[in-house]
Amino acid sequence: GDALMTIAQQLEQKGIEKGIQLGEQRGIEKGRSEGEREATLKIARTMLQNGIDRNTVMKMTGLTEDDLAQIRH
């Protein structure tokens, strides 16, 4: 009797596993988007260092004036 999980326990276990998978997926997506943002900022920094004007950099990278203000050049 004890060896068999109750239906409630099985459902709970499935819910926990699904929650973990969802959490991992969100973590991966968040990491990916943060990585893309870092790469975009690096590209923008390089563009600015090469004398490309801020408006062109914003158009080409999709960054805002605030984003560009964060870049140290």
Indicate if the pLDDT at residue 4 is higher than 80.
Answer: no
Indicate if the pLDDT at residue 72 is higher than 90.
Answer: no
Task: Assess contact for 48 and 68: CB atoms under 8 A.
Answer: yes
Q: Is 51 left (phi over 0), alpha (psi -120 to 50) or beta?
A: left
Q: What does the alpha-carbon distance between residue 8 and residue 12 come to, in Å, rounded to a whole number?
A: 6
Q: How confident is the model at residue 71 (pLDDT cuts 50, 70, 90)?
A: confident
Q: What is the mean pLDDT of residues 12-24?
A: 95
What is the pTM for the complete model shown? 0.67
Query: What pLDDT does 55 receive?
Result: 97
Chain segment 47-62, per-residue pLDDT in tens: 999 999 999 999 999 9
CA of residue 37 relative to chain centroid, distance: 8
